Structure 1
Amino acid sequence: MSEIYRLATVEDIERLVYVTYEAYVTIRELDLKWPAAHADHDLIENNILKNECYVLEVDGEIKATVTLNKGNEIKFITDLPFIMWFAVDPAAQATGIGSKLLTWVEETIIRDKLGASAVTLATAEKHPWLLPMYERKGYERIKAFDSEKGDGTMHLLRKIVNPSGFEIYLQEKEIEKESEQEH
């Protein structure tokens, strides 16, 4: 079995539309307003071009995808790297393929390439299994909020990928906070 971790390209759009749309069936059933749940050619192309969309290809076929958000729209929630649009081909779910890709992005991209000490993501409280799944993968809830899109309570979760770096991050945040209070 050959496994290739890589950035998605526009040549991957059709396969990513299939994987993402099929993986998000529960999201549509719950009527959550997540763009990935309605993945089409234009949404996927925009995601590939504006963000870092990673895939895990197994024996020449994309089986899982996750996106590192490169925009500023989540800066009001966190300044840590934010991942989104995690999807696994339904035929490959519960095989560990998704966990392999997520771990690879957390370690190789977030920790090693970006030098970040932690990664964040958000999910809905009303989804029946996403919160416990991410918690099993080492994510912890750090903030509950209402996105005011009709999704109800959302949770921002964080996973520390470099503990010593995270201590430095927290110290820097404390210094920033003190500096802001002085001004």
Structure 2
Amino acid sequence: MSKDIFRIATEADAPAFLELLSSAFKPLGEMGIDWPSTRATLEMVTDNIKNSTAVVLERDGRLLSTITIRFPWESTTPVSGYPFVWWFATDPDLAGQGIGNKLLNYVENTLLIDTFKAPAYTLGTSGRKHPWLLQMYEGKGYKRYFEHENDNGDLGILMYKVLIPERFDANVLGTPPFADKQVEQSSK
């Protein structure tokens, strides 16, 4: 019987990680969504694995799903004071089997709550170009906290999910670094 393994990706995973990411995000790129994940290279993936916490769900040596946690201390201009997740991808051949939900539950419960004691985390999504992502996240309890117009006509939406309500402080969400750029553009 096959066993699912949750683990942190290593540099040796980079080629398989890139293949998974590319196949999962290809349809988004075709929708005109311009995220780093839609144009990832081996160098970008390797850098992500080296500098962030890239978590994978593996079965029989095959990467099925991945999600990366970026912690606020990884950058001088973090998206939020809470962890930010991105590059959430599941093998498209396994769509609808709950693989992505299984990985996300592991990341939320085992890593973010039990290990890191994170009161909340954040993510970004498409508010206009993707037909169902925003509604999916809202259905899972995420709340919007910042919206920004992208140059490509999409509406970028930052969302958060509270994990430990008694420790959550909305002020820690902060203002994303690109908010100043948007204010500057709107005042021109």
TM-score category, normalised to shorter length: 0.7 to 0.9
C-alpha distance 73-157 of structure 1, shift in aligned 2 (>3 A): farther
Q: Which residue of 1 aligns with 2:134?
A: 131
Task: Give the letter aligned to residue 50 of structure 1.
Answer: N
Q: Secondary structure at the match of 1:46?
A: helix
The secondary structure found in structure 2 opposite 1:24 is helix
Match of 2:27 in 1: 26
Displacement after TM superposition at 1:128 (Å): 0.8
- State the Cα distance separating 1:72 from its structure 2 match: 2.3
Tell me the SS of whatever aligns to 1:158.
Answer: strand
Preserved CA contact (<8 Å) 1:33 1:151: no
For these two proteins, the number of residue pairs brought into alignment is 168
In the other structure, the counterpart of 1:122 is 124
Instruction: Compute the displacement of 1:124 (Å).
Output: 1.1
Cα 1:97/1:84, change in 2 over 3 Å: same
Kindly indicate whether residue 146 of structure 2 is the aligned counterpart of residue 143 of structure 1.
yes
Q: Residue deviations 1:6-44, cap 9 Å, x none?
A: 100111111111110000022211222211112221111
Counterpart residue identity of residue 20, structure 1: L
Deviation at 1:142, TM superposition (A): 1.9
Question: Counterparts in 2 of 1:87-106, with a 5 A limit?
Answer: 87-106=89-108
| Alpha-carbon distance, 1:118 to partner | 0.6
Question: Quick one: percent identity of the two aligned structures?
Answer: 34
The answer for unaligned runs of 5 or more in structure 2 is 173-188
Q: Scaled by the length of structure 2, what TM-score is found?
A: 0.82
Partner of 1:78: 80
Match of residue 181 from structure 1: none
- What's the Cα RMSD here? 1.8
| 8 A contact 1:124–1:151 mirrored in 2 | no
Q: Does 1:163 align with 2:165?
A: yes
* CA–CA distance in structure 1, aligned partners of residues 111 and 68 of structure 2: 11
Tell me the equivalent position of 2:183.
none
**Aligned partners of 1:142, 1:7: CA distance in 2, in Å?**
29
Q: With structure 1 as the length reference, what TM-score do the two structures score?
A: 0.84
Contact 1:122/1:154 (8 A) holds in 2: yes
Whole-angstrom CA distance in 2 between matches of 1:73 and 1:88: 30
**Equivalent position of 2:111 in the other structure:** 109
| Runs of 5+ unmatched residues, structure 1 | 175-183
